[in-house]
Amino acid sequence: MISRQGITPGVYGLAGKFLISMPGLEDPNFEKTVLFVCTHNKSGALGLVINQSYAADMTEILTPLGMEWGRPEEPIVHQGGPVALDRGFMLYETDLDYPGHVRICDQIYLGTNPDILRHMVQSGDHGRFFFALGYSGWASGQLEEELRDNVWLVSSLDRQILFDVPLVSRWDLAIRHLGIDPSRLVEPRRGLIH
């Protein structure tokens, strides 16, 4: 039941899906990660790691901008990837009318505008929200090569995993979402995961 969702080399369509790292991926930026793919086209791909936290929390991000955290959930800042750690990226379910607001898939939007951040943290809009510093990027053809090399599993979006599940459980649950028991996966150099 491992699904590539019909994705073949040269065909683009992973925006709005999860990439789940396979065991044995030794890059510390991506070991046991789940990424939400924001864009995927012939120029490359951009995604956000959804299960790693950044060293700062939202209060440290908002204070210099003259904002306060006004949301019910914990003020977690995610580390979206190793590229551009000084840039903020937001995923949310509210359709807003701001510059920098892009629809990724059905009721999931990507924003980079500070006005969107202000709206999400101070307006009383309690639609689900995700904030990350940095992103993960692939050059043209790079992600397709990694898929051929079985670096990633591809899964449909699960909103609970994206917004609600604790970070430490997201990798395991994303694999289970595919119908796979993570303990049955094999690490290329070490054998079964225990």
**Does some domain include residue 9?**
no
Would you say residue 8 lies in a domain?
no
- Tens-digit pLDDT profile for residues 46-59: 999 999 999 889 99
Q: What is the CATH number of the domain that holds 75?
A: 3.40.1740.10
Which amino acid is residue 172, in one-letter code? D
Contacts of 62 (CB under 8 A, 6+ apart): 68, 69, 117, 121
Q: Is residue 87 part of a domain?
A: yes
pLDDT digits (tens, 9 = 90+) for 12-30: 689 999 999 998 788 889 9
Number of independent structural domains in the chain: 1
Could you tell me if residue 13 is inside a domain? Answer: no
**58 part of a folded domain:** yes
- Measuring CA to CA, which residue among 184, 52, 48 is closest to residue 104? 48
pTM of structure: 0.88
Q: Which domain holds residue 180?
A: 18-192
Helix segments in 123-161, DSSP class H = 142-148, 159
